[in-house]
């Protein structure tokens, strides 16, 4: 079986999330560099794979797949019998995994991504951070994290007592919040959220990319 090709960039946290998933599943892959600083993701060769011009994109035989959350869900299902079990052992556990995956995508990521965009991306493009927008999204995220704190007081991970796709999905944006945006207090001020973050961000398959 040919190795899965991952078209991505080593400094892209979403690319790293997919690589982390592959490593957790003990799947052979080939990283095909898409050089973001030179605009390779907007050139016709790459747009033929992913018309949205973002990374990562994978090729697995005849399948070409983009959107990192879709990619890791596909990998978790295809390789369910090997490596880390991201989906639990019962239908109920799998349902909880998907529930918390949706929470990440619908409730956690929008304010977290907005904070990162205002603090990191806007200044890089020559603009000024909208502090009011940051404050508004911090308030939104605090409410979400309060719910996480309650949940994580009862289980080690979001979907239960096993590391799942739901936890994996939180790695990229939380990494930026804590390590680049100066918003680590959102995590560290919540005992159970902090313990959870320390746990998932210390997994060798993730940590190796940032040490």
Domain ranges of the chain: 4-79, 91-208
Fold of 91-208: Glutathione S-transferase Yfyf (Class Pi); Chain A, domain 2 (1.20.1050)
How far is 31 from 162, CA to CA, in rounded Å? Answer: 28
- Per-residue pLDDT tens digits of the chain, which is 211 residues long: 789 999 999 888 899 999 999 999 999 999 999 999 999 999 999 999 999 999 999 999 999 999 999 999 999 999 999 999 999 999 999 999 999 999 999 999 999 999 999 999 899 889 999 999 999 999 999 999 999 999 999 999 999 999 999 999 999 999 999 999 999 999 999 999 999 999 999 999 998 876 5
The CATH class, in words, for 4-79 is: alpha beta
Query: pTM to 2 decimals?
Result: 0.93
């Amino acid at each position: 079986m040919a190795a899965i090709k991952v078209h991505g960039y080593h400094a892209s946290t979403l690319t790293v999330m997919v690589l982390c998933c592959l490593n957790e599943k003990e799947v052979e892959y080939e990283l095909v560099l898409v050089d973001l600083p030179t605009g390779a993701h907007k050139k016709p060769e790459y747009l033929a794979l992913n018309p949205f011009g973002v990374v990562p994109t994978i090729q697995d035989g005849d399948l070409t797949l983009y959107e990192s959350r879709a990619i890791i869900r596909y990998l978790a299902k295809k390789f369910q019998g090997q490596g880390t079990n991201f989906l639990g052992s019962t239908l109920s556990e799998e349902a909880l995994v998907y529930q918390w995956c949706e929470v990440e995508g619908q409730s956690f990521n929008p304010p977290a991504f907005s904070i990162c965009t205002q603090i990191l991306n806007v200044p890089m493009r020559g603009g000024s951070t909208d502090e009011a927008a940051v404050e508004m999204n911090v308030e939104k995220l605090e409410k979400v994290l309060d719910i996480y704190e309650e949940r994580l007081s009862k289980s080690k991970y979001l979907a239960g007592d096993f590391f799942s796709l739901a936890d994996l999905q939180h790695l990229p944006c939380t990494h930026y919040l804590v390590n680049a945006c100066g918003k680590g207090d959102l995590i560290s001020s919540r005992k159970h959220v902090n313990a959870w973050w320390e746990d998932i961000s210390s997994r060798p398959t993730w940590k190796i990319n940032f040490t």
